[in-house]
């Protein structure tokens, strides 16, 4: 069964408030949280075939830390500049373009776009926290057919979650 795992970048640093938003690095908290989430996904038996990442420094760093925690190859990360603060329609476009040989895809991006995509796909959460993950199972065999009626929520999780839904 195909899975799409939406991941909000980990907590970014505001040490330099004049730094261009695209270039903001991860904060210490984010550097710790991303591997935790990678290990939680691995514990659930979820390992990506592909990671699509926004080109923002904090998103790329999040993707790399997750891959490292999962002991996966960094070569599965594809950096896509158009995912930087992308709308749900842009994210869906990139998901629809993926090869059906990929069973599990992670998409590392930003809010409010990720929250809007979750809503578009028929679920609602108040806010996907930094380093939060939201996983959908596809009820179809083709990424091109992904839409609200062809997905089902699997789970969502975030670093401070004690319940682990």
**Is 121 among the domain residues?**
yes
pLDDT tens per residue across span 79-118:
999 999 999 999 999 999 999 999 999 999 999 999 999 9
DSSP tag of 26: B
Give the dihedral sign, CA 97/130/77/150.
negative
Q: What φ, ψ does residue 9 adopt, rounded to 5°?
A: -50, 155
The fraction of the chain above a pLDDT of 90, given in percent, is 95
Does 163 fall in a domain?
Answer: no
Judge whether 104 lies within some domain. Answer: yes
Q: Give domain status of residue 162, yes or no.
A: no
Tell whether pTM > 0.85.
yes
DSSP H or E run through 94: helix 88-96
Task: Give the domain range for residue 71.
Answer: 3-11+20-157
pLDDT value at position 17? Answer: 85
Is 29 inside any structural domain?
yes
How many CB atoms are located within 10 Å of the residue 17 CB? Answer: 6
CA angle 1-132-125, nearest 5°? 85
- Decide if 100 is inside a domain: yes
Pairing of the two strands 133-138 and 151-157 = antiparallel
* CATH number of the domain within which 104 lies: 3.40.50.1240
* pLDDT score recorded for residue 162: 80
Q: What is the rounded average pLDDT of the residues 137-141?
A: 97
Q: Tell whether 164 is in a known binding site.
A: no
Gap between the Cα atoms of 86 and 37, Å rounded: 22
The per-residue pLDDT for 125 is 95
Cα 94 to Cα 82: distance, rounded to the nearest angstrom: 9
DSSP 27-78: -HHHHHHHHHHHHHHHHTT---SEEEEESSHHHHHHHHHHHHHHT--GGGEE
- Whether 165 is in a domain gets the answer no
Strands, DSSP E only, in 110-150? 133-138
Each residue's pLDDT tens digit, 51-64: 999 999 999 999 99
Q: For the chain, what is the domain count?
A: 1
């Amino acid at each position: 069964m195909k899975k799409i795992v939406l991941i909000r970048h980990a907590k970014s640093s505001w040490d330099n408030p004049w730094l261009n938003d695209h270039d903001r690095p991860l904060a210490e908290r984010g550097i710790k949280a991303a591997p935790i989430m990678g290990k939680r996904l691995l514990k659930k038996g979820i390992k990506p075939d592909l990671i699509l990442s926004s080109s923002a420094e904090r998103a790329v760093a999040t993707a790399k830390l997750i891959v490292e925690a999962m002991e996966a190859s960094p070569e599965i990360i594809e950096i896509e500049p158009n995912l930087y603060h992308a709308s749900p329609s842009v994210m869906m476009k990139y998901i629809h373009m993926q090869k059906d040989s990929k069973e599990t895809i992670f998409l590392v991006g930003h809010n409010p776009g990720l929250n809007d995509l979750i809503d578009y796909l028929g679920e609602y959460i108040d806010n996907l926290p930094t380093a939060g993950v939201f996983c959908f199972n596809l009820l179809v065999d083709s990424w091109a057919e992904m839409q609200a009626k062809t997905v089902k929520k699997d789970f969502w999780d975030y670093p401070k979650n004690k319940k682990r839904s």
